[in-house]
């Protein structure tokens, strides 16, 4: 059986083969992560090491965020931060310890999903059979193309808003997709359910001036004859058109079922937030974008840090790093585009290279 780390690297390669980090907004991941990779990497490493002394994997998993947020952390500072700390002799965490740690993160993801933890089967299943049956009760049948258009517009608007709340590469802190679930027993042959879970659309801890009257949105969509998969970075992969395959849906806003007639009102709210957030972020200096990126990244593990009696905010030493290095990493990684072999080496905890 293939080692889990090799399967993890295969999932990265499959997900990154068409990736162009130069297009990431407002900066690419390397430009932001480089200012706090060591701080975040070590912080989480030692927190989880401490928790492992007294708690079960299940108890720790309950303190951790959604699987896609943990996957995102693995692709940011979980591994790279430890490698950099080791290389610079800040903390000597050798490959054996890194491998053990990464496998522990895999175990945590395993406690939270009902499918392959690396999504190599094209699925990201979070619901049990019983939970799924409850979720698909009382779905509404699509009444023509107008319904399909309105729901597609809602999804695009909510997606775009979340990118402006969390940046392109931290967006799992605001929304992720799960499925596709087989719902053919209820909706007929070749039907699947895809759930878009906008689990935090009002993060006032990060954006205190945010003006939005809702906290979360869930859009359940049943599609017929749609061949769709989800990969490790939560991208929907399909060669088919999507909107016209929609046959049933449910929209939950703050856990309340809302009708199609309310969708256009949501579109307007989401568009206003998106516009204001885009303008705000693009008016920031690059280093202020880094500061906000550090906040968003540390926000992933807000529940865990606070459960240990600590503030969730980034530590002061990150500000010292930003002041010390200035725009150095902004410029250094502006045009960085590693090839797939370089990605594999970067995220392989068994080797020191980064």
Report d(CA 325, CA 274) in Å as an integer: 31
Mean pLDDT for the stretch of residues 268-295: 97
Q: What pLDDT does residue 87 have?
A: 92
- Torsion over CA: 109, 114, 119, 124 (sign): negative
Q: What pLDDT does residue 22 have?
A: 65
Q: What is the pLDDT of residues 282-301, one digit of tens each?
A: 999 999 999 999 999 999 99
- For residues 120 and 14, is the Cβ–Cβ distance under 8 A? yes
Please state the φ and ψ torsions of residue 230, each to the nearest 5 degrees.
-115, 135
Query: Can you say how many angstroms the Cα of residue 62 is from the centroid of all Cα atoms in its chain?
Result: 17
Instruction: Name the one residue in this structure whose structure tokens are 């593990």.
Output: 301
Q: What is the pLDDT of residues 17-61, one digit of tens each?
A: 877 666 789 999 999 999 999 999 999 999 999 999 999 999 999
Q: What pLDDT does residue 86 have?
A: 93
Retrieve residue 150's tokens. Answer: 């309105």
Q: What is the pLDDT of residues 59-110, one digit of tens each?
A: 999 999 999 999 999 999 999 999 999 999 999 999 999 999 999 999 999 9
Q: How far apart are the first and last CA of the chain?
A: 27
Residues 6+ away with beta carbon under 8 Å from 219: 151, 154, 155, 158, 195, 196, 198, 249, 250, 251, 252
Query: Can you say how many angstroms the Cα of residue 216 is from the centroid of all Cα atoms in its chain?
Result: 15
Q: What is the pLDDT of residues 175-229, one digit of tens each?
A: 999 999 999 999 999 999 999 999 999 999 999 999 999 999 999 999 999 999 9
pLDDT band at residue 279, thresholds of 50, 70 and 90?
very high
For the chain, list the strands marked E by DSSP.
Answer: 140-141, 176-182, 191-198, 217-224, 229-230, 236-237, 246-253, 256-258
Nearest to 291, CA basis, from 320, 311, 312, 328: 320
* pTM, rounded to two decimals: 0.96
Number of residues that this document lists for the chain: 354
């Amino acid at each position: 059986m293939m080692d889990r780390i090799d399967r993890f690297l295969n999932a990265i390669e499959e997900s990154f083969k068409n990736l162009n980090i130069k297009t990431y907004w407002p900066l690419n991941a390397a430009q932001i992560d480089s200012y706090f990779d060591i701080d975040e990497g070590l912080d989480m490493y030692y927190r989880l090491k401490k928790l492992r002394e007294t708690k079960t994997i299940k108890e720790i998993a309950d303190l951790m965020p959604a699987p896609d947020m943990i996957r995102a952390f693995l692709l940011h500072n979980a591994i790279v931060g430890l490698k950099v700390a080791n290389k610079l002799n800040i903390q000597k965490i050798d490959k054996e310890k890194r491998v053990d740690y990464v496998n522990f993160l895999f175990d945590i993801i395993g406690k939270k999903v009902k499918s392959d933890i690396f999504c190599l089967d094209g699925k990201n299943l979070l619901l049990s059979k019983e939970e799924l049956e409850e979720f698909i009760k009382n779905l509404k049948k699509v009444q023509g193309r107008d319904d399909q258009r309105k729901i597609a517009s809602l999804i695009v608007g909510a997606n775009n808003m979340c990118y402006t709340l969390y940046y392109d590469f931290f967006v799992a802190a605001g929304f992720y997709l799960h499925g596709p679930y087989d719902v053919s027993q209820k909706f007929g042959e070749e039907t699947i359910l895809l759930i878009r879970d906008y689990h935090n659309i009002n993060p006032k801890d990060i954006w205190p001036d945010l003006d939005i009257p809702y906290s979360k949105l869930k859009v359940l969509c049943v599609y017929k004859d749609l061949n769709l998969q989800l990969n490790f970075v939560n991208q929907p992969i399909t060669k088919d058109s999507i909107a016209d395959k929609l046959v049933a849906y449910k929209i939950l806003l703050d856990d309340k079922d809302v009708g199609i007639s309310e969708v256009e009102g949501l579109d307007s709210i989401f568009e206003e937030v998106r516009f204001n957030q885009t303008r705000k972020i693009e008016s920031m200096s690059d280093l202020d974008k880094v500061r906000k990126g550090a906040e968003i990244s540390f926000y992933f593990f807000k529940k865990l840090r606070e459960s240990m009696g600590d503030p969730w905010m980034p530590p002061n030493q990150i500000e010292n790093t930003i002041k010390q290095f200035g725009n150095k990493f902004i410029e250094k990684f502006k045009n960085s585009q590693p090839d797939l072999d370089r990605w594999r080496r970067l995220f392989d905890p068994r080797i020191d290279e980064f």
